Amino acid sequence: MRTAAENQKRQIEALLSNPIPLYAEKCRRSFYYFLQEFFGEVSSEDFKPNWHIKYICEELQHVAHNVANNRPKEYDLIINIPPGTTKTIVCSVMFPVWCWTNWHWMKFITGSYSSALSLESAEYSRDVIRSEKFIKMFPGIMMKQDKDSKSNYRIQKEAGGDGVMLGGSRFSTSVGGTGTGFHGHILVIDDPLTPLQAASEVELKNANHWISQTLSTRKVDKLSAVTILIMQRLAQGDPSGTLLMKKGAKIKHICLPGEIRNYRADVCPSELVHQYKDDLLDPVRMPWSVLKNMEADLGQYGYAGQVGQRPSPPGGGMFQVSFFSMVENMQQSTETVRCWDKAGTKDAGAYTVGVKMALLKNGKWLIIDVKRGQWATHEREAVIRATAEADGTQVKVYHEQEPGSGGKESAEATIRNLSGYTSYAERPKGDKVFRADPYSVQVNQGNVLLLRADWNYQFIEEHRFFPFSTYKDQVDAAAMCFAKLTKRRVAGDILRGAN
C-alpha cells in the first residue's frame, strides 16, 4: 500500500509529465488567468496587463458565480471606460467562453450598435473554442455542429462514453433587434451607440427603448439573470445615464475615466483613484501624448464623454477667446472656403452669416471675413451672390440646407443663384454644440487666427458665451468652415451646384 508521500510524489510526476490539466484548472478558477492564456488566440499583439483589466475580470467572475449558483441578482453592471482599453475582448469575447468552461449550460445574449460588431465578437469567441489550445485544455467543451452560425451557436459537453450533454448558447443581436425566442442568463451589451448616433435624439431614444423594453424581457430568470452594459459615455441621455437615473434600480457602476487630472470626481468606486499612475488609467495604452491627440480628434465634448466619462455639453468657456490670435495681413494658404448659415427674416430673429476661412500652409486656420445681417430672402441671396463675386471662383461656397421640402427648395435656389461658382448645400447632423466641438479645440490651442477687422468684436463675443450666447450663427458658420477644411464629415448628403 502506497503512503501519502508516495501518492503525492506520483501526482507531482503526473503533472510534470502533462501540466495541461493544471493550467486548465487555473483557467477555470480565474477569469483573469484565462484571459491571459487565450489572448493570443484573438489578437496578434502581446497581452499588456493593467490593473483595470484584472479588476473588471474579477467583477465579471463574481457576477457569473452568482448567476451560476442561481442566487438572487445583487445588481446589474454598468462599466464606463474609454475606447482602446481591451473592454470588448474582455467582456464580449472571452467572458462567455470562460463561463462555459465552468458552466456549460449558461446562455448568453450579446448585442452592440451594429450586427457586424456583434457578429465579430461572437466569431472571435468561436475561434477561441475551436483553437488547438482550448481543445487540449477543455476537450469536453465543443460547438454543437448543427447549431454553429456566428449569430447563434450552442455549446455541448461530453458526458462520458459516446454521450453528450446539450449546453448553453450565444445569440448575437444589435440595437433594434427583437431576439424573439431567445433568452439568456447573462445579457452583455457592448457599445450600443456610436458617437454620431448619440448626437441624434431619435437614435438615443431607440437605444434606450431597446435596452429597457425589448432586451430586458429576454432573461431566462428575471430574479437571477444579469445585464452587463459596457460603453464609453456619449451623451447625458445615453443608455448608461438613463439606467443610472432610474429610481430603485439595482446597479453597480464602474466608471474609469482615462485620466483624473480633470475627471477625478468621476471615478467609481472612488477608492480606485489610488490605482491611477501619473493620473492615467493606463499609461501604456493611453499615455498623455495619446490623450492629447484624442482630444484634438474628438473635440471637448467627445473627449469629456469618451475619455472622461462625463458627457456634459461644455458651458460658458467652451471657447477660450483669449487664444484667438489677431493678424494684420493675409497669410499663405492652401485652401479657402466660405460657409453660410442662412436666415430669411428682415431686421428680426436669427442672422444670416457667411464666414470665410483659409487653411494656412503652417497648418493653422485664418478667419478672413464675416458677413452678417438680418436680411429678407431676396436681399440675402443678393448678398451671397455679391460676396461670391468678391471672393472669386477659387473659393468654394457651402450653405446649410434646413430640413423639409422648404429647406431643399431654398438650398436649390441658392445654388442657382451661385451659378458659375462651386457651391454645395449641406444637411447638418447633430446640434450646434456637437458641430462646434472639434473647431473649439483648435481655437483653445491657439491655432485659429483672425484677420483684424470691424467684425472681430461681435464674432469674439458670440464665441465667448457660446452655447449660451443669444445668437449662434457665427460659431455655426465657422464650425462648418473648419469641418470643410479638415474634411470632417459632420453633415449628411451634399447637394452640389454647377461650376
Say which CATH number the domain at 51 has. Answer: 3.40.50.300
Domain of residue 56, residue span: 4-255
Separation between Cα atoms, residue 380 and residue 373, nearest integer Å: 8
Model pLDDT, residue 488: 61
Separation between Cα atoms, residue 22 and residue 309, nearest integer Å: 40
In a domain, 401, yes or no: yes
pLDDT tens figures, 1-31: 567 666 666 666 665 667 888 999 999 999 9
In a domain, 266, yes or no: no
Amino acid present at 342: K
Q: What is the rounded average pLDDT of the residues 330-355?
A: 88
Which residues does 205 contact at the CB level (< 8 Å), separation at least 6? none
Pair (430, 325) in one structural domain:
yes
Pair (198, 339) in one structural domain:
no
Considering the chain, what percentage of its residues have pLDDT values greater than 70? 91
Model pLDDT, residue 165: 83
Domain end, chosen from 255, 287, 302, is at: 255
Q: What is the rounded average pLDDT of the residues 213-220?
A: 85
Model pLDDT, residue 196: 85
Model pLDDT, residue 427: 85
CA angle 338, 340, 346 (to 5 degrees): 140
Confidence of residue 44 (pLDDT cuts 50, 70, 90): very high
Pair (245, 365) in one structural domain:
no
Does residue 7 or residue 182 have the better pLDDT?
A: 182
In a domain, 26, yes or no: yes
Length of the chain: 499
Please state whether the peptide bond connecting residue 467 to the residue before it is cis, i.e. omega within 30 degrees of 0: yes
Mean pLDDT (the chain) is 88
- The structure's pTM equals 0.72
Pair (243, 348) in one structural domain:
no
The Cα-based distances of 134 to 118, 141, 150 in angstroms read 22, 9, 18
Question: Which CATH number characterizes residue 382's domain?
Answer: 3.30.420.280
Model pLDDT, residue 404: 76
Model pLDDT, residue 10: 66
In a domain, 311, yes or no: no
Pair (160, 249) in one structural domain:
yes
Q: What are phi and psi of 448, to 5 degrees?
A: -115, 125
Amino acid present at 458: Q
In a domain, 334, yes or no: yes
Cβ atoms within 10 A of the Cβ of 238, count?
A: 23
Which residues does 142 contact at the CB level (< 8 Å), separation at least 6? 129, 135, 155, 156, 157, 158
In a domain, 479, yes or no: yes
In a domain, 289, yes or no: no
Hey, is 399 helix, strand or coil? strand
Hey, is 255 helix, strand or coil? strand
Pair (193, 330) in one structural domain:
no
Confidence of residue 497 (pLDDT cuts 50, 70, 90): very low
Please state whether the peptide bond connecting residue 269 to the residue before it is cis, i.e. omega within 30 degrees of 0: yes
Q: What is the rounded average pLDDT of the residues 418-439?
A: 88
In DSSP terms, 336 is beta-bridged to 358
In a domain, 315, yes or no: no
Q: Which residues of 346-371 are buried (b: 16+ CB within 10 A; e: fewer)?
A: eeeebbbbbbbbbbbeeebbbbbebb
Pair (471, 341) in one structural domain:
yes
* Lowest model confidence (mean pLDDT) among 36-50, 92-106, 247-261, 296-310: 296-310
* Lowest model confidence (mean pLDDT) among 17-21, 141-145, 169-173, 461-465: 17-21
Does residue 405 or residue 381 have the better pLDDT?
A: 381
Model pLDDT, residue 493: 35
Domain end, chosen from 255, 276, 304, is at: 255
How many domains, in total, are found in the chain?
2
The cell for 171 is: 445569440
Q: 261 pLDDT exceeds 50?
A: yes
Pair (61, 197) in one structural domain:
yes
Model pLDDT, residue 353: 96
Pair (486, 368) in one structural domain:
yes
Domain end, chosen from 255, 289, 310, is at: 255
Model pLDDT, residue 313: 57
Model pLDDT, residue 144: 84
Model pLDDT, residue 473: 93
Pair (337, 430) in one structural domain:
yes
